[in-house]
Amino acid sequence: MRRTLAFLFTATLALAQGNLSFQEALQQALKQNPSYQNALLARESALTELKALEADPSTLVLPLTQARQALVLAEAQVGASRLSLLQSFLSAYTALLEAQANEGVLQANRALAERNLQIARARRQAGNATELDVAKAETALRSAEIALKNAEAQGPALLKALEAALGSSLPREPQLAPLPQPKALGVDLAALREGLEERLPSLVQARQALELAELQVRLSDNDYTPRLTLEKAKASRDNAQKALENARAQALSALEAAYAQAQAAWGQVLTARENLANQERTLEVARKAFQAGTISRVELEQEEVNLAQARYNLLVAQNAYWKALAALSVAAGQDLTGLLEVGP
């Protein structure tokens, strides 16, 4: 408990200072998110109700079973609420993080376009470039300026979305830290299928409906209950069985799709890492060539901009993988990101 309070105090201080890491912000969101807090309250209420019924010797089997089911469902809903909050908060956080990084790349592109325009004009004055060359450079600069202006215009909306997910206000330009370096998914699809009915609220509800229907059949299968009541109970049981099978099929289909998406996203991360490594080597070659006098400064600056773009592309790929892991976590009913390790 002391560790949790200390963590939340640190997170609150970081928010006030404008320095924000994902884990700190997520813990703040968990503390303030209404849906998650309501899920926690519902679990406490279900536990209180069950204890009261278990303490009452006159409690019948049906309400006692329903109370026990309510607690199990409440536990599953708490877990699902945490995962849903993780997914939505991750989306808002990475959107602003990528926008901030993209602005840096676009600023470098604009500076390079300005440099190219200056060179084009100088060459034209020297008779070594045409008016068309200058016009193309001017067009490239306008395009770079428009792209930067559009990116800057998106910032306030993305900030508001993050504040809504966080449940508190942020400085105008918060310094968002990148997420940790992701790792390959360490679990296979078969392992994720195991225990799915105990983790997903939709499957928990469907299974509990079947269990209640089976209980009604047992309670009605006797000499003192009307035959029609037993037949209705059996029909309800059959319908509940079909509903569970349908819910299970839908859940497995969603799980398989999310797993495939996560695997594909990891492949994009590996590709982006390779592209970045290649660009780093290309820039090193360009620097040596510039020192040797075989390329111009503007050519070297172009490779530096290419490196900034490669780094941004890697950030986008890694964030996409994190979001795919969050979606898979929701589909699997368990945290596969490791980002929820701290917290209530």
Domain assignment present for residue 296? The answer is no
Amino acid (one-letter) located at 301: E
- Whether the pLDDT of residue 333 is over 60: the answer is yes
Write the DSSP assignment of 185-249 as a string of letters: --S-HHHHHTTHHHH-HHHHHHHHHHHHHHHHHHHH-STTS-HHHHHHHHHHHHHHHHHHHHHHH
The Cα–Cα gap between 151 and 141 comes to: 15
- pLDDT tens digits, residue range 93-112? 999 999 999 999 999 999 99
- pLDDT tens digits, residue range 288-331? 999 999 999 999 999 999 999 999 999 999 999 999 999 999 99
Q: How many domains does the chain have?
A: 1
Summarize the confidence of residues 31-45 as an average pLDDT: 93
Instruction: Give the pLDDT score at 8.
Output: 40
The Cα–Cα gap between 109 and 156 comes to: 22
| DSSP-based three-state secondary structure for 20 | strand
Domain assignment present for residue 307? The answer is no
Domain assignment present for residue 91? The answer is yes
Domain assignment present for residue 266? The answer is no
- pLDDT tens digits, residue range 173-231? 889 999 999 999 999 999 999 999 999 999 999 999 999 999 999 999 999 999 999 99
Summarize the confidence of residues 261-265 as an average pLDDT: 98
- pLDDT tens digits, residue range 119-144? 999 999 999 999 999 999 999 999 99
Hey, what are 306's tokens? 């290419």
* Domain span including residue 93: 1-108+154-174
Residue 290 CB partners (closer than 8 Å, separation 6+):
296, 297, 299, 300
Domain assignment present for residue 74? The answer is yes
Domain assignment present for residue 89? The answer is yes
Q: Can you give the pTM of this predicted structure?
A: 0.89
Pick the residue with more confidence: 16 or 250? 250
